[in-house]
Structure formats: C-alpha cells, structure tokens
Amino acid sequence: MSLESNIAAPITALAVDENITFITRRTHEPMWKPEVGELLIETLFSGTNPADTKHATELGIYPAVLGYDFCGKVLKSSPESKFRSGDVVAGYTPTGVGRASKYGTHQSYLICPEEMAFLVPSALPRDHAACLSVVAMTAADVMYNLFRLPLPSHTDTPKCESFKAMLIWGASTSVGICAIQLARESGVYPILVTASPGRHALLQELGATCCFDYKSPSVIPDIKQALADFDVHSLDYGFDAVGSHGDFSSADYVAECVSDEAHLVSVVIQKNPRFKMPFATSNQEAILRVAGVPHPICIPARRSDYQHAWKAFQWAVENYGSRFRLPSVEVFTGSAEDALKELMLVGGEGRGFGKLAIQHLLI
C-alpha cells in the first residue's frame, strides 16, 4: 500500500486520554508527513511491554497513543534515507511527557526516527522483530553502558579477559532473558540468576551458570554458597530485572547478595541510591512526571551510550535464531477492544512468560 502524507486513511489506535483512561480510537485523518530523518510506516505488528500502560499511570505520559515496539512496512522516507518504500523494518519510538501521537505503535500507521529502526533480516520473524527493540536495548544499556562490559564478539571467543561474576534477579523476564545472552557473549562467568524453577532449564540453555528459586527462604545464602563454590570472592555486578517494590523488594535482594563496591542496576527507579536505571531511548532527552515526585524529572540524552548499545543490539539482530533469541512470542489477532484488554494485562498482573505481539489486520 502506498500513501502520500496528505491522503486521509482510517486509523485504529489504542490510546490513553487526558483523564488517564485507556481507550480504543478509530479516526479517518491525513497521514503524518515524515520529517527529515523519519519514516512513515504501516504497522504490521506492534510489540507489547508493561511500559505501554505504566508510562501513563506512573510517569505522566498522557494523553498519548500507546506502544513503543513495532514491525512494519516503510511507506515514505526522505530522499537521502537508507530506507526505501516497501522495506520491512522494525524498531521502537521515543518516550516522554508530551509524546507525539505519531510515535505510538499500537495504531495502523506510525512515524519512527530512522536511527531507531532497522531492516528485518530473513532469519528474524516479523512478530519477533516487533517485540525485540525495547527489551534488548534496555539490556544492552545495562551491560555495555552501566556495567561497561565488552561488546559481543562476532567470533565464538568470549571477550572478557577478567573474571566477572553477575547476578540477574528475575532472569525469566524478557529484559532478563536478553541480559543473560548478552552477558554470556561478553564472557561473563559465572552468571547467577533467579527465576521460578520451571524456567531454570531454559535459562541454563541461554547461558545461565546457576539458577535459584527466588521464592526460596534460603535464596540469599544459597547464592553466596554458590559463589564460594566457584571460588569467587565478590559479586560485582547485580541487575534487578524485576523492579518490584515492597517491604523487601527485588532490588533489596540483589543488594544483599553483592559486594559493597558492586555495580547495581534496576529496571525501575529505586530509593537505594546505589542503583542506576537503564534507559532504552537514551538517544533523546525525556521528561517524566514520576508518581509521588513533586516536580518533573529530566532524563538527559546519552547519545554516545545509545550508539554503543545499538552496536550490541545490531549484533543480536544479525545473530537472531543462532546466538540470540526471544524464546516465546505469542501473536494476538482480534478487535481493538480485546487487544486493549490484553495490553492492560501486560501492564498489570502480567500475562505470564514471554512476549505478545499484536497483529494489525486491523483490530
């Protein structure tokens, strides 16, 4: 399908309004005109993340069209672009208070900055491509910018020369699964992870050295004993891939296991100042209104870090299916109203293990 930017088209979208009410929206309006460095895309699949709804309720990003991840077909690009009409691309879009509707991916058409898109190779299924960018770029920011590990190698030889031990708490989350595989490819050893016992075999297949049941009352001493068995005297890298809160959060568990000098990261903002937070869209500044904080927070751009993480992300794309993968991707087809219900589950109590892609037939 070929569209010029001044031609009206039917657009179905999942959105959040100014009252933080999640809605479906059907309109018939002109296509956005992509600016220099942007792509106009027809959505084939949109990937779901807890952030799709939580960014409205917890970070003040509303009103907005929901969604960050996508796979789609290029309809229009700049004359100097490396992308051409008809290319199948995937990627993700910017975030922050005041986010433009054109960036929402849970809609029929969208705009994406070129630097946040990539050509989908034949080995990468389109529904998987639609779910990859946010979680893999978050994990890459952890491993290669906050932990400063060496980038994955294009050979089978790990690049870490020093002995590094890492703990990933909640390794069966999608970000955790990406983190295990990147840590493995960067030569980290041992990689200690927590998850429910039913996921242990898969996590070991992906690169985990030892797995622990996060619900076990002895999980902390068990992890410390494993370090002693490996003759590791300090656990210097701790990643909370869950981001739970409460009297004793997932970050608190991580902090109990690591050394006093350890590098600590959590997927959410933590009260403990030792923890840093990764940011998948570090190429652009983002303003957030964090719940409970009286003033907006500015997350500054880290463009060099973004480019560094993007190199690791491109490695994952190029090696998808062999040395990197999302082990479970489910495709949803149906009405916009039912798609919104599924999206609310993803951002609420969760839908269980794996990723969900929405197919745009459209809803």
* Sign of the Cα pseudo-torsion (139, 141, 146, 148, in order): positive
Q: Given this model, what pLDDT does residue 7 score?
A: 67
For 81-85, 237-241, 359-363, which range has the lowest pLDDT when averaged over its residues?
359-363
Mean pLDDT, the chain, rounded, equals 93
Considering the chain, tell me which residue range(s) the CATH 3.90.180.10 domain(s) occupy: 8-132+326-359
Structure tokens at 87: 């290319």
Cα angle value 54/304/270 (rounded, 5°): 35
What's the average model confidence in pLDDT over 259-275?
94
Amino acid at position 30, single letter: P
Flag whether pLDDT at 256 surpasses 60.
Answer: yes
Cα separation, 70 vs 42, in Å, equals 10
What's the average model confidence in pLDDT over 220-233?
95
Flag whether pLDDT at 2 surpasses 60.
Answer: no
Query: Is-cis flag, bond preceding 132, omega within 30?
Result: no
pLDDT in tens, 109-165: 999 999 999 999 999 999 999 999 999 999 999 999 999 999 997 656 555 555 589
Q: Given this model, what pLDDT does residue 6 score?
A: 58
pLDDT in tens, 315-329: 999 999 999 999 999
What's the average model confidence in pLDDT over 324-348?
96
CA distances to 45, 140, 231 from 351, rounded to whole Å, are 18, 24, 39
For 52-61, 210-219, 345-354, which range has the lowest pLDDT when averaged over its residues?
345-354
Task: Judge contact between 113 and 94, C-beta under 8 A.
Answer: yes
* Look-up of token digits 């459209």: 362
Q: Given this model, what pLDDT does residue 9 score?
A: 84
Flag whether pLDDT at 233 surpasses 60.
Answer: yes
CA distances to 58, 263, 325 from 89, rounded to whole Å, are 30, 35, 18
pLDDT in tens, 7-40: 678 899 999 999 999 999 999 988 899 999 999 9
Flag whether pLDDT at 350 surpasses 90.
Answer: no
* Sign of the Cα pseudo-torsion (237, 325, 105, 31, in order): positive
Q: Given this model, what pLDDT does residue 156 score?
A: 61
- Other C-beta atoms lying within 10 Å of the C-beta of residue 200: 19
What's the average model confidence in pLDDT over 72-94?
96
Record the pTM.
0.95
Task: Judge contact between 20 and 61, C-beta under 8 A.
Answer: no
Query: Is-cis flag, bond preceding 327, omega within 30?
Result: no
Q: Given this model, what pLDDT does residue 3 score?
A: 41
- Confidence category of residue 1, pLDDT binned at 50, 70, 90: very low
Q: Given this model, what pLDDT does residue 29 score?
A: 84
Hey, which residues does 71 pair with through a beta bridge? 45, 90
Cα separation, 127 vs 44, in Å, equals 8
Q: Which CATH number fits domain 135-286: 3.40.80.10, 3.40.50.720, 3.40.190.290, 3.40.50.10490?
A: 3.40.50.720
The CATH number assigned to the domain with range 8-132+326-359 reads 3.90.180.10
Q: Given this model, what pLDDT does residue 252 score?
A: 96
Which is higher by pLDDT, 248 or 283? 283
Cα separation, 124 vs 331, in Å, equals 15
Structure tokens at 256: 């109990």
Q: Given this model, what pLDDT does residue 362 score?
A: 55
Considering the chain, tell me which residue range(s) the CATH 3.40.50.720 domain(s) occupy: 135-286
Task: Judge contact between 141 and 134, C-beta under 8 A.
Answer: no
